[in-house]
Amino acid sequence: MTMSKKFKHKKSLGQNFLKNGDVINRIIEESQVEGWVVLEVGPGKGVLTEALAHSAKKVIAVELDDRLIPVLEEKFVDMDNVDIIKGDILHMNVEELISTEMSDGKYKVVANIPYYITAPIIRLFLELSQKPSEIILMVQKEVAERLTAEPGAMSVLAVSAQYYADVEYLFTVSKEDFEPVPQVDSAIIKLRIKNEELKIEEVKDFFRIVKIGFSAKRKTLANNLANGLQIDKKEIEKMLIAQGFASSVRAQELSVNDWKHISHELGQRDYTIF
């Protein structure tokens, strides 16, 4: 079976297929997948999949659109290191997939994902017990800039990604490099997972505080924490000043390490939120 010229891209699946070979080659170069098992989400017509398969030890490609499954199966029928799996990555048992397909549990994620599931995809892999070593994603340029933001322009998304990984903006991809042409430019980002032992309760406490801190963008961090934790604002301000922050500091001004210090300090004080 060959891909028909009349193949209709599903807007509901956010389908925009990469067509620029130079971009694909650069993704392969930046991904450094030689000898690695790669999990690809949304292989589409298999253009990136094919390039990955020539370098990687194995490629596991998960595709949601059942119209593309026979196309992919035919394309890779003679390539023993490519597995095509039909399914929705957000509703699959990914832990089971990893344990079944990857003997040593070491793998990388490389994907050109639909923009509307960017945050859920990132959250999925960062919260797995068996995380990938690296995640290389094609995302909307604006989202890439948010993910790699520095203190002064931080968001919950940026804090969440940078808590688990070192996030790098690799390069910009023009919207003209896709078919059909989307409305915005894209970018390739790389998340290198931090090799840290994380305690479940500490992680929960950290993100609980972060979400409270960002709960009202126009208010100061002291206001948000006081309201969310039901603590006197002056007490929160004293704590912030003792930590080296201005009492008027706002959530977007803090780094991940700043949030860690604040979460730890609040935990030491044993507030009822914990």
pLDDT digits (tens, 9 = 90+) for 119-148: 999 999 999 999 999 999 999 999 999 999
What does the chain look like in DSSP terms, one character per residue? ----TTPPP-GGGT--EE--HHHHHHHHHHH--BT-EEEEE--TTSHHHHHHHTTBSEEEEEE--TTTHHHHHHHTTT-TTEEEEES-GGGS-HHHHHHHH-TT---EEEEE--GGGHHHHHHHHHT-SS--SEEEEEEEHHHHHHHT--TTS--HHHHHHHHHEEEEEEEEE-GGGEES--SS-EEEEEEEE------HHHHHHHHHHHHHHTSSTTS-HHHHHHHHHT--HHHHHHHHHHTT--TT--GGG--HHHHHHHHHHHHHTT-TT-
- The whole-number pLDDT of residue 5 equals 46
Helices 256-268 & 156-164, crossing angle to 10 degrees? 90
- Whether residue 45 is predicted with pLDDT greater than 70 in this model: the reply is yes
- What is the phi/psi pair of residue 184, to 5°? -135, 160
pTM of the predicted model as reported, rounded to 2 decimal places = 0.89
What pLDDT, in 10s, does the model give residues 1-20?
A: 334 444 455 544 445 778 88
- The whole-number pLDDT of residue 190 equals 98
Q: Which one-letter amino acid corresponds to residue 92? A: M
Q: What would the CATH number be for the domain defined by 200-268? A: 1.10.8.100
Tell how strand 108-112 and strand 37-41 pair up. parallel
CATH 1.10.8.100 location in the chain: 200-268
- Whether residue 26 is predicted with pLDDT greater than 90 in this model: the reply is yes
What pLDDT, in 10s, does the model give residues 194-206?
A: 988 888 999 999 9
What pLDDT, in 10s, does the model give residues 106-123?
A: 999 999 888 888 999 999
- Whether residue 151 is predicted with pLDDT greater than 80 in this model: the reply is yes
Rounded mean pLDDT, 60-87: 95
User: Residue for token digits 């972060």?
Assistant: 210
What pLDDT, in 10s, does the model give residues 236-255?
A: 999 999 999 999 999 999 99
- The whole-number pLDDT of residue 101 equals 85
Question: Residue 136 class from Cβ within 10 Å (0-12 exposed, 13-18 middle, 19+ buried)?
Answer: buried
- The whole-number pLDDT of residue 15 equals 54
- The whole-number pLDDT of residue 116 equals 86
Identify the sign of the CA torsion 229, 234, 237, 242. Answer: negative
- The whole-number pLDDT of residue 13 equals 45
Q: Does 3.40.50.150 match the CATH number of domain 11-193?
A: yes
